[in-house]
Structure formats: C-alpha cells, structure tokens
C-alpha cells in the first residue's frame, strides 16, 4: 500500500488547499534567625527570585522565566489551554485564514502567527518565552533566543501524554498537567464502556477524504490512538499494517473496502464526493449498516492534545448511541 507521511507541515499544506533532564536551582534559604528577603549586614530588603534551568530536546540548558505572561508555542495551544494558559499568538496558515478551529471558543480573540514562526513575526509579539514542538536547527533556536528564552520539547509530538507532562514541568504546572491526564483517562474509560456496550468486538476506522484521495489514521497516532487505544474499537487488518512513520497514510478505495470495517468516521468537506457512489464504497459494511459518521476537516479528528482527544471521545459517543 502506498504510504504518505503527513507531518505537521504536510498537514498544513492540505488544509491550506481547502520533550529531558531537569536541573533545578533555588536561592539558598536564609540563615536561621534571619528573615527571608533581609540582608544579614544592613537589613535591607533584597529581591528573591527562583530560577529553574531545564535541558531541552536539543541539549540546551534553558533558564525558564518565572510565570511567563506572553508565551508563543505554535501548534501547542491545545496543551496550554488545558492548563488555562492563553498564548500570545496562535498557529495559523494562509495569512491567518486557517487556524485550529476546534479551539476557537478560547482563542477567537488571540492574534495569529504563521505556522513556521518567521523571526520578524515572533519579535513583533515581544514574547517572554518561546516553546517549540519540532526539532529545529540550532541556529534557528539561537535566533529565537535573541528574542526570548526558547525551549525545544524532548517529548515525541505523537505522544500527547508525554508532551502534556513536559509542558507541565516547563511551566511549573506539574500537578495541573497530571490532573488533565487523569481526567481524560477517566472520560476515556466511560467511552470505552459505551463502546463495549454498543459495539463490542466491532471494528472502526477514521478516514480523511480530500477530493478523491483517502487517508486512514495510524492506530497509535492522533485520533487513531483515541479510537483504538482509548475507546477500544477493533483495528481493521489494513490499518494494523500501516507504517510507523505515518500519521495519516494514503489508502485506495479497494483497500478501504477490504477492511470490512463496521464503523466509519469520515472526515470530509465534500458532501457529494464521487467516491461515495462507487460500488466498492457501497459494499463496505459500515455503509450498508448506516454506520458512517461524517465530520468536517475543522473538527478535532486531525489534531493532538487533551482537548482534541476529549472532543473525539464525544464524537464517538454521540455517533454510536
């Protein structure tokens, strides 16, 4: 089966067409009998600050500012919002026309910044901290560091729990990050119970349709991890054979028909695709049993993060009841 790796950049192009070792240092406590914030010699008050230095994904020791107020973390907005942190700018494509629409209830008033973070655009926002999800070249990070401390994540971008924990550590919100994960896992257990009740032993697939091209989600990535790992649907054989380096891999209509999938979650903006009139499409069990559930490409199915994943759980529940 022909494979197509959809990285963050390639995902961006399609949409346009329609993270380590931690070292913590704190000020030494005041000597016994001496008030904190007062010098021993003259009693003058001194400013006390706490500095944390973390090693990022490039091996750089980054001094993390205390309580940063203007954070740029392109394509990590889902995680920030889960921690009740509003970024200074949000990821976008096509001159701000394309954004993460599923987050706009919280981000509608947040200005956009191009997805590739041009130096001049970043500088205009005057951030006090920059967080990067992708492994950039060191010289690019050096440029960002001229604007604000820049931290490149260690966590794999395909592991949202690992990413959530690292961002929680970087922003000194470890407990909040664990709460986000625990609450999600509790919700996922509820969805899995519903799937067991309504569709025990049945298979499912998430298919992204772009014109006449089809892409199927990897079972351990993006919404595939939710569909199979969390909700508990069975994995069709064709999906189980996907390459490890693809979030969404190209699949032919013939291969889709071979899946004999029971539930089909279709991500498409085309309500009248010629593919759905094809005999092979009509022979898919999910189609015959009226178990095709359609969502547009602005929905959370294509993304990573606790908010996206919880929305997908909701989509699953609403679809099978």
Q: Rounded distance, CA 204 to CA 196, Å?
A: 13
Axis-axis angle for helices 306-320, 160-170 (nearest 10): 140
Share of the chain above pLDDT 70, in %: 84
| Pair 220, 194: CB distance under 8 Å | no
**What Å distances lie between residue 252 and 153, 204, 256, 275, CA to CA?**
35, 17, 6, 11
Tell me what the mean pLDDT of segment 228-250 comes to: 88
CB proximity list for 140: less than 8 A, separation 6 or greater:
none
Rounded average pLDDT over 205-232: 95
**pLDDT at position 46:** 38
Q: Which two tokens stand for residue 113?
A: 């910044």
Strands of 292-295's sheet in order across: 248-251, 213-217, 204-210, 263-267, 292-295
Quick one: what percent of the chain has pLDDT higher than 90? 76
Mean pLDDT value across residues 177-189:
98
Distance of alpha carbon 62 from alpha carbon 54, whole angstroms: 5
**Structure-token match 């498409």, residue found:** 268
Residue 92: pLDDT band by 50, 70, 90 thresholds? very high
Cα–Cα distance measured from residue 208 to residue 266, given in angstroms and rounded to the nearest whole number: 6
pLDDT at residue 245, as a whole number:
75
Question: Is residue 291 scored above 80 in pLDDT?
Answer: yes
Burial class (CB in 10 A: 0-12, 13-18, 19+), 248: buried
Contacts of 259 (CB under 8 A, 6+ apart): 203, 205, 236, 237, 238, 239, 284
In the prediction, which pLDDT does 243 show?
A: 65
Query: What is d(CA 179, CA 174) in angstroms, rounded to the nearest whole number?
Result: 9
What's the mean pLDDT when you consider all of the chain? 87
> Of 243 and 164, which is predicted with more confidence?
164
Is residue 94 left, alpha or beta, with left meaning phi > 0 and alpha meaning psi from -120 to 50?
left
pLDDT band at 141 (very low <50, low <70, confident <90, very high): very high
Domains observed in the chain: 48-178 (3.40.50.1980), 190-320 (3.40.50.1980)
- What is the rounded average pLDDT of the residues 124-138? 94
Which pLDDT value is given to residue 272? 76
From the list 313, 286, 287, the residue with the least C-alpha distance to 301 is: 313
pLDDT digits (tens, 9 = 90+) for 309-318: 999 999 999 9
Structure tokens at 210: 């772009």
**Which band of pLDDT confidence, cut at 50, 70 and 90, is reported for residue 195?**
very high
pLDDT band at residue 244 using 50, 70 and 90 as cut-offs: low
Q: How far apart are CA 51 and CA 55, in angstroms?
A: 13
Q: List the single range of 23-27, 59-63, 175-179 with lowest mean pLDDT.
A: 23-27
Residue 50 pLDDT grade (very low, low, confident, very high; cuts 50, 70, 90) = low
Per-residue confidence (pLDDT) for residue 12, from 0 to 100: 42
Above 90 in pLDDT, residue 124? yes
User: Tokens standing for 282?
Assistant: 């009509």
The Cα–Cα gap between 125 and 129 comes to: 11
Contact 107, 73 (CB under 8 A): no
Mean pLDDT over residues 191-211, rounded? 97
Per-residue pLDDT tens over the stretch 18-32 = 433 343 433 444 444
DSSP 62: E
d(CA 76, CA 107): 12
277-301: average pLDDT: 95
Global pTM value: 0.84
For residue 149, the tally of other CB atoms under 10 A from its CB is 18
């Amino acid at each position: 089966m022909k494979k197509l790796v959809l990285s963050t950049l390639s995902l961006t192009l399609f949409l346009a067409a329609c993270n380590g070792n931690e070292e913590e240092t704190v000020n030494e406590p005041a000597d016994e009998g001496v008030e904190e914030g007062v010098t021993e010699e003259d009693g003058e008050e001194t400013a006390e600050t706490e500095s944390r230095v973390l090693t990022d994904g490039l091996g750089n020791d980054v001094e993390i500012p205390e309580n940063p107020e203007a954070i740029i973390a392109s394509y990590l907005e889902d995680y920030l919002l889960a921690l009740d942190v509003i970024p200074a700018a949000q990821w976008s494509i096509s001159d701000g026309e394309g954004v993460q629409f599923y987050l706009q209830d919280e981000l509608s008033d947040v200005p956009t910044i191009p997805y590739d973070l041009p130096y001049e655009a970043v500088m205009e926002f005057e951030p006090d901290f920059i967080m990067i999800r992708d492994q950039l070249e060191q010289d690019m990070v050096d440029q960002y560091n001229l604007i604000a401390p820049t931290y490149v994540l260690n966590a794999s971008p395909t592991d949202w729990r690992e990413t959530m924990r690292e961002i929680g550590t970087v922003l000194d919100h470890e407990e909040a990050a664990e709460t986000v994960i625990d609450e999600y896992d509790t919700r996922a257990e509820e969805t899995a119970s519903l799937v067991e009740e309504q569709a025990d032993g049945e298979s499912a697939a998430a298919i992204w349709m772009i014109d006449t091209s089809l892409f199927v989600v990897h079972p351990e990535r993006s919404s595939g991890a939710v569909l199979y790992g969390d909700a508990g649907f069975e994995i069709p054989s064709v999906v189980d054979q996907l390459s490890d380096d693809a979030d969404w891999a190209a699949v032919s209509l013939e291969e889709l028909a071979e899946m004999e999938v029971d539930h089909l979650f279709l991500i498409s903006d085309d309500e009248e695709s010629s593919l759905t009139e094809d005999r092979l499409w009509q022979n898919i069990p999910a189609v015959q049993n009226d178990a095709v559930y359609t969502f547009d490409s602005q929905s959370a199915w294509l993304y990573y993060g606790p908010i996206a994943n919880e929305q997908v759980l909701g989509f699953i529940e609403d679809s099978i009841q």
